[in-house]
Structure 1
């Protein structure tokens, strides 16, 4: 098995792509003027945002694959693994890459909430697909960052560069919201599958074996990353995926507490709670009374 190549600095990435380093912590690359990524598996120690303007190659992300299409944005965060697979035919790479080191964000407004941009943890097959107008806006942001990199570094450089990176990421949030809306039929299919998954889960002995269904478990069963799945559920229902799961559990609990042959503790264990008091606390939080009080009231 080939060794994993660690990319832990902007300079190392630039050298691999054959472009100069204008700033030690950030780089904007016109991919048409850069060397193609070699066929290898890379462990990123930097943030990367790729805008691919033409179909140009097959990537491996974890165990999945993604075939780039025109106008696609892919995000990579430190610690993630990205592999470039061999292509049978040569291709010309066109597009842009933004690479920045986590140290660039230290003591900046962006550094305080970079983790709020959940798309850095999406799978590559959950990439952002841009309209022509959206792509123009993203390229404009990249060119503003590139302009700053061409100037002499001064006390304003970091603030201006990180502000423009944040502007780009804010546009990406808007464009992802649009993508969730325009993929309405696909989203509804995911929600239907999610509901069926929960029904099947509680029709089996999995709650006793595995405990409560987690967001990560449900996302994995639906072949989605937890963050993308969570964002999709939130956009469609107004609830977080965790709240949606809890709502389903409480609906089941309301039915099962009326079984006079079972104690509240037995119901809790059947639903996957490790400790009955956790079930009682959640039930009271969502219903306003304890399971026993609910049983007696009805």
Structure 2
């Protein structure tokens, strides 16, 4: 797969696409016609620490994602979750009529909202769906109306109501996308990547079934055994598909669970650490801060500042 370029912030995404700085650090709407494609854009694969939802036409290349290649000469929608790897493969010529939009959403924009958990249940963000969403002109117009509402809200009305209004618009967009996918798959089979799907289920069960309280922190060995793979092979596969080693994948999933519990429960920091499988609270706090730049307590307090 070659070099994988990781973008941690929406600001970095804007910089690599020669766009002005985003007006909000955690959410942005980009007009695809404004994106300036440089050769470096095609020379590596990309992975993001945020969600990317896009509708593009005439991209001037093909997108390689989840071992599948998409042709963007027609209007199609594309959904990328944090940590997934994609690549743009250039085609001959440079189209002058590139159009469409990209919605960038950092997961931290969603914390302490119902969408923080719900967004993970939309299957089209998963590698288990490796088919682009083809939309009709009417469906495209519906999506554009929602995107215009989001853009208008964060451009003109940043106040205590803004996040809730924008979240509701994102939820509406995702529900329409789900409807359109269901329509598209009436006559098509969904293709899946079995290993990643099973790994996600195993990870969820590790905490839902309280396995962590007896076995401690989840390990590469634990998941590899249940997938009937060697730890090295599992890590190699994850690296190719997500840009992460198995250990990095596990750590990021731990932080996701921790953020959820810090934002929606009253459990103490030590109780959360124990639930995750940490033997010492200090170890949990150290990993959390290394991943988020905040201590668990600072992260929790950030929701009580209004």
Same fold (TM over 0.5): yes
Hey, what does 1:5 align to over in structure 2? 5
Shift of 1:152: 4.4
Structure 2 residue 14 is matched with structure 1 residue 14: yes
Which structure 1 segments of 5+ residues have no match?
A: 195-214, 228-273, 275-298
Partner of 1:118: 123
Please tell me the root mean square deviation across aligned C-alpha atoms, in Å. 2.6
CA drift at 1:98 = 0.5
| 1:171 match | 176
Contact 2:66/2:130 (<8 A) preserved: no
Partner of 2:78: 74
Partner of 1:24: 25
Q: Distance in 2 between matches of 1:135 and 1:50?
A: 11
- Out of 159, 164, 179, which is 2:164 matched to? 159
Taking structure 1 as the reference length, the TM-score comes to 0.59
Please say if 1:57 is aligned against 2:69: no
Measured after TM superposition, the shift of residue 63 of structure 1 is 3.2
The answer to whether the Cα contact below 8 Å between 1:128 and 1:175 also exists between their aligned partners in 2 is: yes
Name which one, 1 or 2, has greater alpha-carbon Rg.
1
Cα deviation, residue 160, structure 1: 1.1
Taking the aligned partners of 1:140 and 1:122, their CA distance within structure 2 comes to: 28
1:33 corresponding residue in structure 2 = 34
Distance of aligned partners of 1:68 and 1:123 in 2 relative to their CA distance in 1, 3 Å threshold: farther
Which stretch of structure 1 is more off in the superposition, 29-38 or 140-149? Answer: 29-38
* 1:163-207, Cα deviation, whole Å (9 max, x unpaired): 1111100110111111122xx2x44xx8xxx9xxxxxxxxxxxxx
Task: Please give the residue correspondences for 1:94-113 in structure 2 after superposition, counting only pairs within 5 Å.
Answer: 94-113=99-118
Taking structure 1 as reference, are residues 33 and 55 closer, same or farther at Cα in structure 2, changes over 3 Å only? Answer: closer
* SS of residue paired to 2:101: strand
Determine if contact 1:66/1:124 at 8 Å carries over to the other structure: no
Residue by residue, what CA displacement relative to the aligned partner does 1:211-243 show, whole Å, maximum 9, x if unpaired? xxxx854xx8xxxx859xxxxxxxxxxxxxxxx
Would the alpha carbon gap of residues 139 and 35 (structure 1) be closer, same or farther in structure 2, given more than 3 Å must change? same
| 3-state SS, counterpart of residue 22 of structure 1 | coil
Instruction: Specify every segment of 5 or more residues in structure 2 that has no aligned partner in the other structure, as ranges.
Output: 199-227, 229-306
TM-score in terms of structure 2 length: 0.58
